[in-house]
Structure 1
């Protein structure tokens, strides 16, 4: 149910608006002046605000500015019995969704309210969809290790050098790979990702190199592999340490000759992807055990980038937590929340075995379960696992 806040110093006007809106099944709160309205808006997570322009203590246009500073996407409809065309234009120029004169016309009011709520829903949906489509997120942090990775990406990105990214699960290896692609001369081409650990060993060759129709029982049509799909772009081989030795041999050949042969086929096909690989394993140790080809390791590791664990960059935790907080509140269409300084210190004390991924999950849990101000007690209660 949409939640609406009415800010007006005239109680009869508030009562009239409340009755109209509640009859239309909206949840309604009231505030008798601008200061009270701002406080409620920051705490309540409203979908729409109706605000009078002429009020004591704080002018409605000042309230508008404060509300939009706090939440730029919040639709605010200004209402006034003393308005002129100039006042209406000024209110809309300063960010109001619309302007309604007193006494409000019932139909005009309801149409404006519904349109404003529809627009707000579309804004939130668009933000969520953009985040899903354009997945390259900001690399957050000011620690020396992150600054060094940014510098490395800037240097390596524009080249054709192969890159091997190492680090524990959840540290952000995929994000590094995406930024290498974004900074490359191939940014206009595709970024094709393969999670080598998620594909059964008997299917990995078909996934990478494709197959011809009839190559095996379920091959009912020809399939183009990831190496071909990534030609002219970047092929990201995630968790390459889990790839079978037979697939490793064929990947090595593809890297050496820039040619592949589809499963069940005989024709050699030229391919030209830039390969970026990542692993959470110690590949030198895997080589010693006979689980990984040394020649493939040297082909992949022209440039080595190690992504540190979150425990190694605790100074970045407050910035990361605030970043995730804002992102999650936007995704859910919720009013912004904040951490107390003590809460951020409590987060820095935790042992982050799941790294960045775990931090984001815990911030999401705190956003959902806690009040507007998240305290150290909240962290102690809800961050336990």
Structure 2
């Protein structure tokens, strides 16, 4: 990918101290369409980056660097970049003659994004650079979507960024947690890290407050790993599971059973509880508001380091040395006022709260989080070089997440699963699972089902027609005279589309290609994805119409689908159509073209077959050259 959708050539910074190799690489990278700045060591790279324009025009997009160099080597360079406020997200890949596992591990730990061992194949190098260039493009588009930070935001953010390196020097585990657990570099996330570091050392209890799915368990683990008890046990108490159990049994499991408890499976001499089992470590109570009220009240004594007795039976008082952490997604002050939570315990916990921001409050982190979750499942789905298409990445940032980080992780996993099935290393809009609103809408939400209709006794059940399998067999759209349908299309397209297609396109354009809204207007089921599959067929029909020989006119086909009056929709449709062609080429190369016809209306099969034939010609032509 030597150019991006903004027509801005990708700018590479090549860092290589061997003159012959440097000249060869510069020549081939420029020949591939990249803008290349080349330097001889890490110090010169820093100077080149400082001199390059900031912003989207002219800025360096990807750094390709040797590791072993004089003056300043590659490891020192990547560490300096990752500590820099402006350059910390800049993609960097290493080229090295040393390919052993220890060197690769050191490179990745330092912050490198990829690692290629010399000697390497030029095509492989270009493919790896393309992956990093896509990341740079996605990051650039993400920044455009986010509101510009105020001067106060910049000052606060810069202050936090400046302190991160100092924090990591004091707490070596912090760098690991930032990579694996508390992922993101937004001001909100760094402020959260600061609170974790402040609360981790002492014995005082910590209350973690946040919405469902915001990562409260991860914060609890970070508090443990950054504190003096990191080498001691860390146990999680799921209070929701204990809520359904007998209250006496629950209290005994926590505080212990004394002599003569009279319970089965408990020794007559008693049995220690979880607090004693974890003595010296950290005990995390998730959803503390769900714990039975009696057990909640009993926690106050051990929290304050005071002796407590077994919950059931007789026994001597005992004390424990524990770090108590609690998490909740409800207002404990309101629960306390309503008598559902002990007031004394609330007062004790309210003194040391950590508020975990929702994903909407740290929107700047969505791109980083999505890439992190994709990295987590690359090995599982055999997607080592996978990345997000810019159009999909844009929508991931734009949508709301009621389930916060958990919802984003689940969505990325499902996208990866479907991309792997399609043999596609670029996650596309079309990989969204069924049951979600189409991503061309304002948000991506699970499709809502309509409320059940009340039916009189003995009345016939409402019919449930199967999804249509061809353009002519769709659920009948609202009646509309052909002239009215044509009014929504360009004059030169009215003789090309049939009446049903025109009605579909008019509805799509009216709703700015928000498929769920267009389906509702046309009376189609959102669960069937009928219109999504029809739109794929319409795009292939337009591609065939605008072909010249075996060459596709993507822009011309997209204009046929969208019209001439909306450049924003045209740009998005160009991305959609291009993704369809890339999918065709991948399936042709893998000999799995039959998958391209899944759920495709029969009327459009011939257009996909024409695209397959053209892709075979193009692949054959490339092979001969």
Q: TM-score range by the shorter chain?
A: 0.5 to 0.7
Note if contact 1:196-1:240 (Cα within 8 Å) is conserved in structure 2.
Answer: yes
Larger relative contact order, structure 1 or 2 (CA cutoff 8 Å, min sep 6): 1
Shift of 1:281: 0.8
| CA 1:309–1:252: 2 relative to 1, 3 Å | same
| CA 1:65–1:164: 2 relative to 1, 3 Å | farther
CA distance in 2, matches of 1:297, 1:220: 32
| CA 1:373–1:213: 2 relative to 1, 3 Å | farther
1:1-385 to structure 2, matched below 5 A, reads: 61-63=119-121, 66=124, 137-199=180-242, 200-202=244-246, 203-212=249-258, 215-221=261-267, 222-262=270-310, 263-370=312-419, 371-379=424-432, 383-384=436-437, 385=446
| CA 1:359–1:216: 2 relative to 1, 3 Å | farther
Shift of 1:216: 4.4
Structure with a larger share of its residues in strand:
1
Q: How far does the alpha carbon of each residue in 1:233-264 deviate from its partner, in whole angstroms, 9 at most, with x for none? A: 11111111112221112111222343332222
Shift of 1:162: 1.5
Q: How far does the alpha carbon of each residue in 1:318-355 deviate from its partner, in whole angstroms, 9 at most, with x for none? A: 11010000111134454331101221111122221111
| CA 1:230–1:301: 2 relative to 1, 3 Å | farther
CA distance in 2, matches of 1:232, 1:313: 35
TM-score scaled to structure 1, two decimals?
A: 0.62
Which 5+ residue runs of structure 2 have no aligned equivalent? 1-116, 129-176, 438-445, 447-625
Which 5+ residue runs of structure 1 have no aligned equivalent? 1-58, 71-133
CA distance in 1, matches of 2:119, 2:259: 68
CA distance in 2, matches of 1:64, 1:207: 62
CA distance in 2, matches of 1:192, 1:173: 14
Q: Which residue of 2 aligns with 1:88?
A: none
SS at match of 2:318: strand
| CA 1:332–1:372: 2 relative to 1, 3 Å | closer
- RMSD of the alignment, in Å? 3.0
| CA 1:65–1:270: 2 relative to 1, 3 Å | farther
Aligned length: 265
